[in-house]
Structures are given as structure tokens and as C-alpha cells.
Structure 1
């Protein structure tokens, strides 16, 4: 039966165990993204106003709730590679649970409130991450993205392409959208590229392609954001 003496256990769960599980989850996304050649990997722990940034890790005010992983220029940007990355968070959570269970069985650590909460909330994380659903904010769970990727649904594999193209007649660099409609023109290539990157980054999944002298070259890609 729940009593006043149990209140500290909830503080332990919400403010220590859950953040550790969240970090482990994001670590799974990061590991597989790095393995598949992603660059500029960033991990956000929590939600709200950022309070601390250290290397690739950003801690936000409500550090015990939510988390996400962002990265750019995924070298192997295929359907299967995205399935691996989106499943990586839950895979790491499962590895964490199995590790704790083995350590307890081998009597290397004792059964206590921490190990119980870690195991319980890890399965909680895995269940809601892999359950194919749409979250209240409109984001898809890892499971829904994976399911749609496996089904090869168009919206799951579709990514917008933004072009940075040289117009010889007008002597200007043009930024074009996915339908080849001009967004803006620039005198310098770097300014056009920066504009295209900014638009593409806000419309993931997307990529930026440069086209000049009949040559097409991908200069940036922005995969989806695993949660």
C-alpha cells in the first residue's frame, strides 16, 4: 500500500531514474547514427529552456521529461538505416534492462528500489517508443516511423529536395524548392547555400543539392529527428 514514506521513491524515479533511462535511449539513437556516418550529432535531454550545453549534449530546464537526437549528413541515408537508427533507442534500453537483470541474477548487485524502478521504467520507455502512435504534439513515435518505413509508405521515405542552382543567363544563384519553383536569388553561392540549408533544416527529412555545369551534388541532408 502506498504511504507517505514512499514519496521519496517517486522523486528518485522521476528526477534520477527516468533521466538516466532517457539518456540511455538517446545514446542508442546517437550510436547508430554515428555508425552510419552522421555528422553534427546533438542530443537534447529534457524540454523547456536550455540551461547547460556540453559538447553534443544539451540539458534543458525540465531535464526529466522528453529528449531527442538531431544530426546531419547521414552518409548511409537509406530506408533500412533509418529503421536501425529509430530502433536504436529502444534497443539500448533493452540492453540496459538485460544487463541489470544479469547483474542481479549473478548477485553482483542487489535487488533494490533503483534496480526495480530502472527495469520498470525502461520497459515503459520501450513500450511507448515502439507503440505506433502519434504524440499530442504531432510527432510520430519511433515505432510508427519504423512501421511506415517497413511498409514503404510514400510519406515515410519521401524527402524534400531544395536546389542551389546557377542561372547563367541571369548570372545569379537561385534557391529552388522541391517543385523547382524559385524561392530566392543571390549573387553569391555561399549565401544561396545558407538559405537552402535553413529552409531544409526546418522541413526534415530533406536535402540540399547543388546544380552547376550539368553536375548535381548533394551538399547537405537532414534526416528525421528520433525521439
Structure 2
């Protein structure tokens, strides 16, 4: 039974152990994103207003709840690469859990409340990350994305935005996947900036530009792992 004497243990788990586990989880995503050539990598721990940024780490006001990582421009953006990236969080959680259990068994680390909470909540984190389910805000669990990637579900496919020059009308235009004109501009940089904005808001997505009759990738914005 949960008693008054257990409240400090609960506070320790919620405000210290869980954020550490969350950070390890996001570090797993980041490792594989870096391995696949990702740029602009950022780890976000918590939710709410930003408290501080330190390099790629961003800590928010409610640091004990939620976490995600973001990155752009994967050099290797095929399905297997994305499966590795989305599996990285639970993989790092599993590795650190097994490591702590091994150290306790070997007598290197003394078993106590911290080791118990760490292993317990790591398994909790792994279970809910792998459970293939949608979240109320429209995002998906890592397990759901991994499963959909394996099944090659259509909604996982990149949304394509194209930047082209219309010679007849003498303006730049941003097109969607069906070649429908979304934006027009006399200025190339403005058209590119708008395409980037649209792509960032519609992950996973790619921005392509036609130059000298050849279509090249300007940037890609992969889905954000949680």
C-alpha cells in the first residue's frame, strides 16, 4: 500500500529518475540520427517554456514530462535508416537497464531505491514507447512509426514541395506533391523560405528545386521521434 513514507520516493522518481531516463531515450534517437547524417540535431527534455539551451540540449519548464528530438537533412533517409532512428530510444533504454542490472548483480553498484526505480521506469518507458498507438495530439508512438515503416504505410511517405521558375509569368512558385501551386514570389529566396516553412510544418517532407532542368533536393525534414 502507498503510504506517506513513500511520497519522497515518488518525488525522487518523478523529478529525477524519469527525466534521466527520458534524456537517455532521446540520446538513442539522436545517436542514430547523427549516424545517418542528420543536421541541426536537438534534444528537448520536458514541455512548456524553454528554461535554457546548452548546445543541442533544450530543457523546458516541465522537464519531468515529455521529450523529443528533431533533426534535418538526413543523408541516408531510407526506411531502414528511419527504423533505426525510431528504435534508438528504446535500444538505449534497454542497454542502460541491462547495464545497471549487471552492475548490481556483479556487486559493483549497491542495489537501492535509485537502481530499482531506474530499472522499473526504464521498462515502463520501453513498453509505452514500443506500444503501437496514436497519441491525442496526432503524433504516434515510436512503435507505431516503426510498424508503419515496416509495412510501408502511405502516410509515412515524404510530402514533396517543389520550387520552380515559371518563365511565362516570370515568378517563382512553390508546388505541392500534386504540382498544385501553393505560393508565388518574384524573389527566389522568399520562395525557398516559404517552401522550408511548409515542409517543417508537414514532416516527413522534402524540398526539391528545379535548376537547369534538373531536380535537386534542397532539404529534408524527417518525422520527429518522441
Coarse TM-score class (shorter-chain normalised): over 0.9
The number of equivalent residue pairs is 226
Q: Which runs of 5+ in 1 are unaligned?
A: none
Partner of 2:206: 207
SS at match of 1:192: helix
Partner of 2:106: 106
Counterpart-to-counterpart distance in 1, 2:20 and 2:68: 14
SS at match of 2:119: helix
Partner of 2:26: 26
Counterpart-to-counterpart distance in 2, 1:77 and 1:178: 18
Q: TM-score when scaled to structure 1?
A: 0.97
Counterpart-to-counterpart distance in 1, 2:126 and 2:22: 10
Q: Give CA deviations for 1:176-203 in whole Å, capped at 9, x if unaligned.
A: 1111111122222211111100001000
Q: Give CA deviations for 1:118-145 in whole Å, capped at 9, x if unaligned.
A: 0000000000000111122221100011
Matched, 1:148 2:174: no
Partner of 2:139: 139
Partner of 2:10: 10
Q: TM-score when scaled to structure 2?
A: 0.97
CA-CA distance at 1:6 after TM superposition: 1.5
Counterpart-to-counterpart distance in 2, 1:213 and 1:24: 46
Counterpart-to-counterpart distance in 1, 2:181 and 2:137: 31
Matched, 1:177 2:176: yes
CA-CA distance at 1:223 after TM superposition: 0.4
Partner of 2:189: 190
Partner of 2:52: 52
CA-CA distance at 1:3 after TM superposition: 2.3
Counterpart-to-counterpart distance in 1, 2:14 and 2:191: 46
Partner of 1:168: 167
SS at match of 1:42: strand
C-alpha RMSD of the superposition: 0.9
Matched, 1:87 2:100: no
Partner of 1:72: 72
CA-CA distance at 1:110 after TM superposition: 0.3
Counterpart-to-counterpart distance in 1, 2:7 and 2:219: 49
CA-CA distance at 1:81 after TM superposition: 0.6
Partner of 1:222: 221
Counterpart-to-counterpart distance in 1, 2:63 and 2:87: 22
CA-CA distance at 1:173 after TM superposition: 1.3
CA-CA distance at 1:50 after TM superposition: 1.1
Q: Give CA deviations for 1:50-73 in whole Å, capped at 9, x if unaligned.
A: 111111111111100000011000
SS at match of 1:180: coil
